[in-house]
């Protein structure tokens, strides 16, 4: 009999791709706001309601739920939503499992490399490095603390926190937003262009979750980013080369991004490198360790 994996954040591209990857070896269920399929179970984080049938006989939870950090300006209400969608959702699951006395083999939570802060520096951040002190790092610290509660309260045998970098996907996200202007010959670096952009191919991030699921010796936090580092300027140039498009536009000034996006602009204008050595030392192998082959694979699908 297949072990049951419950995935939150059903609407996201990672959740959908991960479910396809796992379906042959696991029985996959989703927690979602609107039930559309037999293996969907409804929940409402704001109202703190959840279909408890979702937890029957489950072995693992992969917690991917979370409002998109870079989708809207960071108003006070949006900031509350960004935190609540990650933290209150985890608390709702934990409280339900405690009440029903259900024990998990593993609770695997999405996290983010933003925990080190939105800064541009020459430091390559590792998992044990100091956390940042801005809004992004605050979000991730609270997110990871909520995951750790599953271990502290004995609800999960182990907890894994996948500190995700920019996920490259052909369907949505950063790559789609950056490649569209390039296709029309108006692509250009943002700000100085020297801010680093830790990244990972969507196939690889799904493989990281599968790897964490199958390996019981995986515990704690892991940076999930491709080994090859790049900055915004080089990233944009690589897209242009793969698409065979010219790139002669001047950089988009940082002040313009701040006018358009407000505080959110920091996500676009700052970035440092992160190391995935810890993950690789556990035996994980990237399918796309280098940027150009990753871009060729994804942009060919558009």
Banded model confidence at residue 82, pLDDT cuts 50, 70, 90: very high
Helices 135-152 and 76-99 pack at an angle, to 10 degrees, of 0
- Domain 3-165+200-225 falls under CATH 3.40.50.300: no
Q: Is the pLDDT of residue 65 over 90?
A: yes
Domain boundaries, the chain: 3-165+200-225
Q: What is the DSSP string of 159-176?
A: EEEEEE-EEE-SSSSHHH
Gap between the Cα atoms of 93 and 90, Å rounded: 5
Q: pLDDT, tens digit, for every residue of 257-275?
A: 788 888 888 888 899 999 9
- Looking at the chain, the whole-number percentage of residues with pLDDT higher than 90 is 79
The whole-model pTM stands at: 0.95
Q: Is the pLDDT of residue 239 over 90?
A: yes
Q: Is the pLDDT of residue 186 over 80?
A: no
* pLDDT reported for residue 302: 59
Mean of pLDDT over the chain: 93
Gap between the Cα atoms of 217 and 79, Å rounded: 35
CA 231 to chain centre: 19
Structure token pair of residue 233 = 């300027």
Structure token pair of residue 93 = 């699951």
Gap between the Cα atoms of 66 and 85, Å rounded: 5
* pLDDT reported for residue 139: 96
Question: 157-166, 222-231, 234-243 — which is least confidently predicted?
Answer: 234-243
Banded model confidence at residue 180, pLDDT cuts 50, 70, 90: confident
Specify the higher pLDDT residue, 202 or 300.
202
* pLDDT reported for residue 301: 67
* Residue 21 Rama label (left phi>0; alpha psi -120 to 50; beta): alpha
Q: pLDDT, tens digit, for every residue of 108-131?
A: 999 999 999 999 999 999 999 999
């Amino acid at each position: 009999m297949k072990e049951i994996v419950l995935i939150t954040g059903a609407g996201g591209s990672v959740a959908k791709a991960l479910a396809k990857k796992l379906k042959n070896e696991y029985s996959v269920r989703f927690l979602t706001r609107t039930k559309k399929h037999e293996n969907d179970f409804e929940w409402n984080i704001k109202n703190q309601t959840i279909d408890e049938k979702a937890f029957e006989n489950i072995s693992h939870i992969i917690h991917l739920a979370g409002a998109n950090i870079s989708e809207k300006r960071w108003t006070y209400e949006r900031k509350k939503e960004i935190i609540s969608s990650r933290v209150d959702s985890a608390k709702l699951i934990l409280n339900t499992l405690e009440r029903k006395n259900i024990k998990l083999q593993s609770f695997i939570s999405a996290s983010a490399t933003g925990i080190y802060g939105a800064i541009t520096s020459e430091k390559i951040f590792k998992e044990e490095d100091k956390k940042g002190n801005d809004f992004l790092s605050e979000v991730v610290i609270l997110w990871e603390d909520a995951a750790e509660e599953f271990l502290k309260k004995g609800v999960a045998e182990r907890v894994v926190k996948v500190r995700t970098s920019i996920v490259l996907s052909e369907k949505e996200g950063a790559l789609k937003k950056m490649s569209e202007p390039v296709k029309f010959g108006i692509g250009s670096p943002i700000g100085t262009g020297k801010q680093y952009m830790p990244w990972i191919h969507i196939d690889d991030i799904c493989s990281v979750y599968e790897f964490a699921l199958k390996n019981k010796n995986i515990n704690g936090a892991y940076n999930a980013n491709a080994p090859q580092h790049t900055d915004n300027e080089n990233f944009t140039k690589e897209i242009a080369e793969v698409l065979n498009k010219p790139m002669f536009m001047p950089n988009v000034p940082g002040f313009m991004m701040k006018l358009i996006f407000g505080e959110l602009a920091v996500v676009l204008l700052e970035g440092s490198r992160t190391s995935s050595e810890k993950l690789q030392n556990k035996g994980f192998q990237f399918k796309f360790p280098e940027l150009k082959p990753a871009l060729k694979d994804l942009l060919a699908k558009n």
